[in-house]
Structure formats: C-alpha cells, structure tokens
A and B are shown apart, each in its own frame.
Chain A
Amino acid sequence: AQSVTQLDSQVPVFEEAPVELRCNYSSSVSVYLFWYVQYPNQGLQLLLKYLSGSTLVESINGFEAEFNKSQTSFHLRKPSVHISDTAEYFCAVKETSGSRLTFGEGTQLTVNP
C-alpha cells in the first residue's frame, strides 16, 4: 500500500531564507506526486505536481520540487521565502493505476520577519 512521510512537522525560517520541506513516499508501483498548500482558514490548493517527464517541477510562486525515484522522495524547495508563504504544506501520492490519494502528516512552514 502507498504511504507518505513528511519528515518535519514544523519548519520556522526567516524571510528571504531558503527552505526545504521533505517528503518521502512508499509504493511498489509507479506514482503521481503532489504538493498542496493550506493557508490559514482556507481550503487546500494544489501547489505543484509530478506526473511524468522532467523530474523537476515548478509552481507559479517560486516553489519547486524534484522527484527522486531512487530515494523515493519529492522534496519541496524555495530559494527565498516570503511572509505570505506561511502555511501548512501537504505532500500526497497516488499510484498511477488506482484512485486512492494518500496524504502525509503536513509541515507547518512559518516565515518570520
């Protein structure tokens, strides 16, 4: 069965610092991978996704994630964060042949001035 582990429950950083949110998954078959973001008091929004092709995927607001099949990881990075990036971030996995979408425990990113 597929599973997702987010290695950090809380990540505090200062504004303009780089950040990495770590995600590892487990599956015996090929997968799709997603990062979702939840801003305070809002619903979940898709941030970026890996379906196939290039292992480096980017979002419109400067985040990127790299699919590493050998390490079964899909870490999220941003070279310089803003206060407005403060949110909870969720990694999710779906096997390409199924319908089940499984989420990790979430990482609370707090950007301080």
Chain B
Amino acid sequence: DVKVTQSSRYLVKRTGEKVFLECVQDMDHENMFWYRQDPGLGLRLIYFSYDVKMKEKGDIPEGYSVSREKKERFSLILESASTNQTSMYLCASSLEWTAGAFFGQGTRLTVV
C-alpha cells in the first residue's frame, strides 16, 4: 500500500513563528501536493510539485513556500505564521493518474 506520512497530527504555533510541515511518501511518486482544508471551502491547493526541485503555485500560495530536495519529501513552510493560517493541512502524492492521488492523515495546525 502507498503510504503518505505527515510528520505531525496536531501542531500549535505562535503568531510570527516559522513553521515547517513535512510530508514523506514511500512509492517513488512524481507528483506531490499541499492543500488546506477549511469547512465550507473544501480543499484548496497551496503548492504542488511534479519533480524534484520543481514546484508550481496553486490557488492560495500567499504566505507559504515549499521545498522538494528529494523525491520522497515535500515540505510546506509558513514563513511567518498568522492566525488565518489555522487549518487542516493535507499532503498528497500521485504517480499514474489511473490510481488517483493518495493522501496523508493531515496536520491540524493552530496558530495562536
């Protein structure tokens, strides 16, 4: 089974802190994604990556950056956390689209 692992299930950070969310997949997938999930808004794409060191902005990239130095790892960085970044963050990966995308369990981030 494909496994997408996010480093933390719950995280509490202070306003202004730099926050790192880590995601690792074990199936050599080319594509990796970061979404945030908010009630009533569904999943909104923050950034995605289709290869090592390659990234593209999604629909809501402001206030975030990403890093993909190795194929299996895709990191989401909140440069200076703000309370409006309190959310559930979901990482996903995919290889062949015949199989769809596989999701991690999510990280619930609270910024206080």
Contact = CB atoms under 8 A, between A and B. Distances in A.
A51 B58 CA distance: 23
Contact of B42 (A90, A100, A101): A90
Interface residues of A, number: 24
Chain A contact residues, majority secondary structure = strand
Contact of B98 (A9, A42, A51): A51
Chain B contact residues, majority secondary structure = strand
Interface string B22-59: 00000000010101000011111100101000001011
A105 B42 contact: yes
Interface string A1-35: 00000100100000000000000000000001010
Interface stretch (B13-21, B64-72, B76-84, B99-107): B99-107
Interface string A44-56: 1110010100000
B92 interface: yes
Interface of B: 31, 33, 35, 40-45, 48, 50, 56, 58-59, 90, 92, 94, 97-106
Interface of A: 6, 9, 32, 34, 36, 42-46, 49, 51, 90, 92, 94, 96, 99-106
